[in-house]
């Protein structure tokens, strides 16, 4: 992976002229929204000439500021929070979210995932980092629709012991959005090796891992904002849980009622 722009500045700082260092300091000050400026605006902010700013870009290994923009877009595509297109149009963002939700929900593989999860002996839902809240939400919903639904990893725990009892007839639902832990493919291979069915839900960057899964569900997370959005992901797991509830029929409805009665006896919810 090529060095990020801040790493390039640190590497070349000693060789920069005083004016180029001044320009580099301005780049670092505006790193979070760097691509929202034009090269001339950055030069004015730094109090240097446009020629100095251009020389700095070349010293850092970029042909021009357009290449810097492409570098920042590549970081955003990899999941690093970056604003690359100026102040976002929130109405356009909302429309993009709605389109992402529709794409996520209109996948024929969703029906297969519902069938696997509804009929499994045991379901284990796994998610690390930014995938963990989505996994937690799915586990909470599935626990109303059917029994023996586990979440991994639990706080302070690893997942090795969660795989020990899995086998044919079980399902592992793996949530894997970008910036996954480095051991992610190894875990998928281990999960598939147990004989359990694997449902993999992730953004397009997880597609290379889909060969390890029984069912692949794709869900976009990148929008117009700096941070990834999980609106489509939450809708998708909601649809998955709803499908399991419907597929499980009367037994699921009786389970839901029983859980609600327990809430009332324990006075756990308002």
Provide the pLDDT confidence category of residue 151 given band limits of 50, 70 and 90.
Answer: very high
Give the phi and the psi of residue 249 in degrees, each rounded to 5. Answer: 65, -140
Give the least confident one: 92-106, 114-128, 199-213. Answer: 92-106
Who contacts 72 (Cβ-Cβ below 8 Å, separation ≥6)?
5, 34, 35, 82, 84
Provide the pLDDT confidence category of residue 1 given band limits of 50, 70 and 90.
Answer: very low
Who contacts 135 (Cβ-Cβ below 8 Å, separation ≥6)?
125, 126, 127, 151, 173, 175
Q: What is the pLDDT of residues 235-268, one digit of tens each?
A: 999 999 999 998 888 887 888 787 788 878 888 7
C-beta atoms surrounding 205 within 10 Å: 17
Q: Cα–Cα distance between 192 and 189 in angstroms, integer?
A: 5
Q: What is the pLDDT of residues 32-62, one digit of tens each?
A: 667 778 888 888 888 999 899 899 989 888 8
Average pLDDT, the chain: 85
Taking the alpha carbons at both ends of the chain, their separation in whole angstroms is 51
Who contacts 201 (Cβ-Cβ below 8 Å, separation ≥6)?
134, 173, 174, 175, 176, 217, 219, 233, 236, 237
Domains of the chain listed by start with CATH number? 5-77 (1.10.10.10), 92-266 (3.40.50.10490)
The residue whose two tokens read 């069915």 is: 197
Quick check: 103 and 141 in contact, CB under 8 A? no
Q: What is the pLDDT of residues 165-175, one digit of tens each?
A: 899 999 999 99
Q: Cα–Cα distance between 244 and 252 in angstroms, integer?
A: 9
Two structure tokens written together for 163: 């795989």
* Top-confidence residue, 64 or 214: 214
């Amino acid at each position: 992976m090529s060095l990020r722009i801040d790493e390039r500045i640190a590497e070349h700082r000693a060789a920069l002229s005083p004016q180029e260092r001044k320009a580099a300091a301005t780049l670092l000050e505006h790193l979070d929204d760097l691509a929202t400026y034009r090269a001339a605006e950055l030069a004015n902010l730094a109090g240097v000439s446009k020629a100095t700013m251009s020389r700095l870009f070349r010293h850092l290994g970029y042909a021009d500021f357009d290449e810097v923009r492409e570098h920042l877009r590549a970081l955003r595509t990899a999941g690093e929070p970056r604003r690359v297109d100026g102040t976002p149009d929130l109405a356009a963002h909302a429309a993009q979210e709605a389109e992402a939700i529709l794409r996520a929900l209109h996948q024929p593989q969703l029906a297969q995932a519902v069938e696997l999860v509804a009929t499994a002996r045991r379901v284990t839902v796994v998610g690390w980092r930014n995938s963990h809240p989505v996994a937690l939400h799915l586990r909470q919903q599935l626990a109303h629709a059917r029994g023996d639904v586990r979440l991994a990893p639990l706080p302070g725990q690893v997942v090795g012991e969660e795989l020990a009892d899995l086998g044919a007839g079980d399902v592992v639902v793996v949530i894997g959005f970008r910036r996954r832990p480095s051991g992610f493919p190894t875990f998928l291979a281990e999960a598939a090796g147990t004989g359990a069915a694997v449902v993999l839900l992730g953004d397009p960057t997880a597609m290379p891992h889909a060969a390890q899964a029984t069912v692949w569900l794709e869900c976009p997370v990148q929008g117009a904002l700096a941070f990834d959005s999980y609106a489509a992901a939450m809708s998708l797991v909601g649809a998955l849980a709803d499908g399991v509830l419907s597929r499980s029929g009367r037994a699921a409805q009786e389970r839901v009622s029983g859980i609600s009665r327990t809430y009332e006896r324990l006075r756990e919810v308002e």
